[in-house]
Amino acid sequence: MSQTGSRIAIDPKDGNLFVALGTDQPAIRFRCRRSNRQVPGQGDPHYARRQAGARQSGAWPAGSLVDGHRTPQGLTFAPDGRLWEVEHGPRGGDELNLIEKGKNYGWPVIVHGINYPGTKIGDAIVEQAGARAAAVLLDRSSRPPAWSSIGATSFRSGRPACWWVAWPARRFSVWSWPKTIGSSTREPLLTDLNQRIRDVRVFQDGAVYVLTDRAGGKLLKLTPNNSQTRQ
């Protein structure tokens, strides 16, 4: 199976559906709920090409928002309405991206890191005019399986934050939303869980649910009281 990655997110403002597609179709597309809604992107000369393989269906017209993603593993709207994406990159190149319409996020031309066997990727270009840089370049090969936040608040700081999972190390962290490229702080949580975390969701009331996939996997609910967990 090709490693494409794919996530969906619904804009809490208007209910539009956003779909992040991976390696084979590296883009974030969106679908408007109403068929009479103007679809941004239709004036784009590349729109027809992008849509050539995507089946139109019913009252959900589609448009491409951005290009250049490798393996999206998280897609969510921040409390301020901005759309964020996190992706599993090559070795050493996982990214947290602020999605801005019309931008190209580089893959497979602009890359951070190397192939997992250790070989160079293409010409190893790390920046190029016209390509959007990652907001945060994550730890080497954190391989994020999930990422979520809607109206989230950091337990410790009380500020809006995103919730993040790093897979191989079984770490779980709360990140502050980056204000500038490269800036962010994190608060590690569940450091003694010792289970692989598959997903994290933040509900509108602030409850945070964490799903593990080990034999006897659990659905944990995080509460603000010293980040204690319960099933």
Partner 1 sequence: MALDRNFASNHRIFFVYMRIIDADNCVQAVDSATLDEDAGTLSNVHTIFQGTRSPTER
Please report, as residue ranges, which positions from 6 to 25 form the binding site for partner 1 (by CB under 8 A).
6-10, 12, 15, 17, 19, 21-22, 24-25
- Which token pair is 168? 């191989």
Give, as ranges, the residues between 79 and 138 that touch partner 1 (CB under 8 A). none
| Residue number with CB closer to partner 1 (8 or 207) | 8
How far apart are CB 41 and partner 1 at their closest, in Å?
Answer: 14
Q: And the tokens for 37?
A: 């809604």
Smallest CA-to-CA distance from 198 within 177, 184, 218 is with: 218
- Which is it for strands 161-166 and 147-148: parallel, antiparallel or unpaired? antiparallel
HEC string of 83-128 equals EEEEECCCECCCEEEECCCCCECCCCCECCCECCCCCCCCCCECCC
H/E stretch holding 222 reads: strand 219-222
Residue 58 interacting with partner 1 (CB under 8 A): yes
CB of 171 to partner 1, least distance (A): 23
Nearest to 89 by CA among 173, 201, 3: 3
Show Cβ contacts of residue 11 under 8 Å, excluding neighbours closer than 6 positions: 17, 18, 77, 81, 83
Q: How far is the CB of 225 from partner 1 (least distance, A)?
A: 26
Nearer to partner 1, 18 or 105 (CB): 18
Under the binding rule (CB under 8 A), the answer on residue 44 touching partner 1 is no
Q: Which is nearer to partner 1, 154 or 212 (CB)?
A: 212
Half-sphere exposure of 74 (CA within 13 A, CB side): 33
Using the rule CB under 8 A, is 215 a contact of partner 1?
no
Residues in 62-81 at the binding interface with partner 1, rule: CB under 8 A = 62
Residues 134-173 that bind partner 1 (CB under 8 A): none
- The one segment of 52-60, 94-102, 138-146, 174-182 that binds partner 1 by CB under 8 A: 52-60
What residues line the site for partner 1 (CB under 8 A)? 1-2, 4, 6-10, 12, 15, 17, 19, 21-22, 24-25, 29, 31, 52-55, 57-58, 60, 62
